[in-house]
């Protein structure tokens, strides 16, 4: 029997708003993704993950869903979605869609009905509506905080015009949390899954997979701000202190609760009832010892590995994170996942120092991420070596920026539309001169021409060339990447080396000095043109790495 495809997949994350804009209205669309499927296929990845494209007021760039079984007109139509899935399949690409089960948009009919129906109604039971504290109920029901800043509760005005109950929103106030104690909510989530599975989706990325269950007693938590800080990816430097902070998430009042897995068991049964290895990957930033719960044989298939994403530029720490991940997931028998960035984090070039140094490090880290057992997730633009854009404040769109009154810049810098070609904005993101032409939803930096797809396509030594080479090798030499084949040769401090199958290794120099690789052999691919090979001796300048065949 062949292994399910997802056990060792390269998955490319498409953030549709910023991928490619075929109707030239300044925002990416599904027809843009269809148009560029040849580009994705040429990257030699196995699958795409599409961030949300459902009907939404776009207060959180589509993670505020008003109708989970429809397509927002800004992205296209249901027929476009169907065509995208079919065409991707035709090109040998699987398709994961993003489901957002924790909350809806406040524009969803359910929430509007709940507002109109008033306290005690069945409509309110689908969300978390509670009376406030204090003599007039004018204080929030408890001290839970929103991940985007401020209280997690907003008070409504009742149909009779009086100030009334409060509803829970772990994110923006336009994203009310659903109540999974209500059977309608369960059934609706399953219906959404069925809808996309029937359309041919190969699986799901599960948004906020750690948040669906809440303590029905709604208790105050100790240090509410500390709990929220535990999930701030921009603050996680991979340190033991950051890990300790994150342990607070484990089975807490509204995160990572044990009973979540009952929900995922239902989902797993549904996924298993479809042919063709359908799967789901959890967005759950939990401590390593909690990860296995999400990927037990009867729950979901994969969980994102945020520890690896947060790992600093430090050979020993990177190795520790990898070892811990492998140990923890072995318990569940689940394949690990690796990613260097996504649409919520700073881009990896920026995180590892920015500029040329950050770019060199990012390319070296990519060699590590792509040689490990399990699946790799690549965020669009990472293969181009893009850094975060430095945006003028007036163009920011992230609710984090607004809810923290500018104290946190938010995630827009990592979401700027991709540069395809041309020497100036919009860099081929759309073709200028169209009927609906508008400005880009986020402005790109003036110096992105050198990073465009066209500028790198013919250059095998470019970041794009490196990504294509890595993904191709994962296909042509699957034996090199075997699940069980990981060993750790002795190295000097600051030098990372891992041996994989069939005499294949990855070596990265994290130090500030040139080093001779502890492993000799032929260089299959390198992160930098400065890597040298004399006979079989590999020399690595600072911040570089190589895949070596011995």
Q: What angle do CA 475, 28, 45 make, to 5 degrees?
A: 5
Q: Binding of ligand NOJ at residue 171 (CB under 6 A)?
A: yes
Binding-residue total with ligand NOJ (CB under 6 A) = 9
Active site residue 283: yes
Residue for token digits 């005690």?
120
> Which residues, including other chains, have CB under 8 Å from residue 62's CB and lie 6 or more apart?
16, 17, 51, 52, 53, 54, 56, 72
Q: Applying CB under 6 A, does 97 fall inside the site for ligand NOJ?
A: no
Q: Which position among 25, 46, 256, 283 bears the catalytic label?
A: 283
State which residue, 268 or 343, has the beta carbon closest to ligand NOJ. Answer: 343
> What are the C-alpha distances in Å from 468 to residues 457, 507, 521?
10, 19, 22
Q: How far is the CB of 288 from ligand NOJ (least distance, A)?
A: 20
- Of 72, 207, 382, 398, the catalytic one is 207
Between residue 266 and residue 295, which ones bind ligand NOJ under the rule CB under 6 A?
Answer: 283
Nearer to ligand NOJ, 245 or 343 (CB): 343
CB of 80 or CB of 283, closer to ligand NOJ: 283
Q: Which is nearer to ligand NOJ, 344 or 383 (CB)?
A: 344
Query: Is residue 155 classed as helix, strand or coil in its secondary structure?
Result: strand
Q: Is 437 a catalytic residue?
A: no
Residue closest to ligand NOJ (Cβ): 63
CB of 207 to ligand NOJ, least distance (A): 5
Q: Roughly what angle, to the nearest 10 degrees, separates helices 260-272 and 183-198? A: 30
Determine if 100 is a binding residue for ligand NOJ (CB under 6 A).
Answer: yes
Q: Taking CB under 6 A as the criterion, which residues in 437-456 touch ligand NOJ?
A: none
If the CB atoms of residues 212 and 480 are measured against ligand NOJ, the closer one turns out to be 212
Phi, psi of 343 (to 5 degrees): -75, -5
Report the alpha-carbon distance of residue 506 to residue 549 in Å, rounded: 9
- Give the nearest distance from C-beta 172 to ligand NOJ in angstroms: 8
**Among residue numbers 205 through 244, which ones bind ligand NOJ (CB under 6 A)?**
207-208
User: What token pair was written down for 224?
Assistant: 């509410």
Site for ligand NOJ in 324-343 (CB under 6 A): 343
Measuring CA to CA, which residue among 277, 255, 248 is closest to residue 210?
A: 255
Name the 3-class secondary structure at 78.
helix
292 phi and psi angles, rounded to 5 deg? -60, -30
Least CB distance to ligand NOJ at residue 100 (A)? 6
C-alpha distances (whole Å) from 40 to each of 295, 379, 474, 475 are: 28, 12, 15, 15
Alpha carbons 86 and 91: distance in angstroms, whole number:
9
**Which parts of 47-86 interact with ligand NOJ (CB under 6 A)?**
60, 63
Which of 100, 365 has the CB closer to ligand NOJ?
100
Tell me if 344 contacts ligand NOJ by CB under 6 A. Answer: yes
Residue 87 burial class via C-beta count within 10 angstroms: exposed 0-12, middle 13-18, buried 19 and up:
middle
Binding site for ligand NOJ (CB under 6 A): 60, 63, 100, 171, 207-208, 283, 343-344
- Residues noted as catalytic: 207, 283
């Amino acid at each position: 029997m062949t292994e399910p495809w997802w056990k060792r997949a390269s998955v490319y994350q498409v953030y549709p708003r910023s991928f490619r804009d075929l109707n030239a209205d300044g925002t990416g669309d599904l027809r843009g993704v269809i148009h560029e499927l040849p580009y994705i296929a040429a990257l030699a990845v196995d699958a795409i993950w599409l961030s949300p494209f459902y009907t939404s007021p776009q207060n959180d760039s589509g993670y505020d869903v008003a109708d989970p079984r429809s397509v927002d007109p800004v992205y296209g139509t249901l027929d476009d979605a169907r065509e995208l899935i079919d065409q991707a399949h035709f090109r040998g690409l699987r398709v994961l869609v993003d489901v957002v089960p924790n909350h809806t948009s406040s524009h969803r009919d359910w929430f509007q009905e709940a507002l109109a129906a008033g306290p005690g109604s069945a409509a309110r039971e689908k969300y978390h509506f509670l009376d406030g504290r204090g003599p007039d109920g004018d204080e929030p029901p408890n001290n839970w905080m929103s991940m985007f800043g401020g209280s997690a509760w907003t008070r409504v005005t009742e149909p009779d015009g009086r100030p009334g109950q409060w509803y829970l929103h772990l994110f923006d106030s336009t994203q009310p949390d659903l109540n999974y104690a209500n059977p309608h909510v369960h059934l609706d989530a399953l219906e959404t899954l069925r809808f996309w599975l029937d359309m041919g989706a190969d699986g799901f990325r599960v948004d906020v997979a750690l948040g669906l269950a809440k303590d029905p007693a709604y208790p105050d938590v100790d240090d509410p701000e500390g709990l929220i800080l535990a999930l701030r990816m921009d603050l996680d430097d991979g340190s033991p202190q950051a890990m300790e902070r994150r342990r607070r998430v484990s089975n807490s009042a509204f995160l990572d609760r044990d009973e979540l897995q009952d929900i995922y068991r239902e989902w797993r049964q549904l996924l298993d009832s479809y042919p063709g290895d359908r799967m789901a990957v959890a967005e759950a930033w939990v401590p390593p010892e909690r990860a296995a719960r999400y990927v037990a044989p009867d729950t979901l298939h994969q969980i994102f590995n945020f520890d690896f994403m947060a790992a600093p530029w430090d050979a020993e720490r990177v190795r520790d994170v990898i070892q811990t991940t492998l140990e923890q997931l072995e318990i569940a028998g689940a394949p690990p996942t690796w990613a260097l960035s996504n649409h919520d984090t700073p881009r990896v070039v920026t995180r590892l120092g920015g500029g040329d140094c950050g770019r060199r490090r990012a390319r070296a880290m990519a060699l590590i991420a792509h040689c490990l057992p399990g699946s790799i997730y690549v965020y669009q633009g990472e293969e181009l070596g893009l850094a975060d854009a430095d945006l003028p404040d007036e163009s920011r769109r992230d609710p984090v920026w607004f809810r923290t009154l500018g104290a946190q810049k938010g995630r827009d810098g990592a979401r700027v539309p991709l540069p395809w070609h041309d020497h100036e904005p919009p860099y081929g993101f759309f073709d200028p001169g169209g009927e609906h032409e508008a400005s880009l939803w986020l402005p790109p930096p003036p110096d992105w021409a050198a990073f465009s797809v066209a500028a790198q396509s013919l250059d095998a030594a470019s970041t794009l060339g490196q990504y294509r080479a890595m993904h191709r090798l994962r296909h042509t030499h699957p034996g090199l990447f075997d699940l069980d084949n990981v060993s750790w040769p002795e190295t000097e401090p600051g030098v990372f080396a891992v041996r994989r199958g069939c005499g294949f290794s990855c070596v990265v120099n994290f130090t500030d000095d040139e080093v001779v690789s502890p492993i000799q052999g032929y260089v299959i691919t390198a992160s930098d043109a400065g890597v040298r090979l004399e006979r079989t001796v590999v020399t690595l300048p600072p911040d570089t790495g190589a895949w070596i065949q011995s």
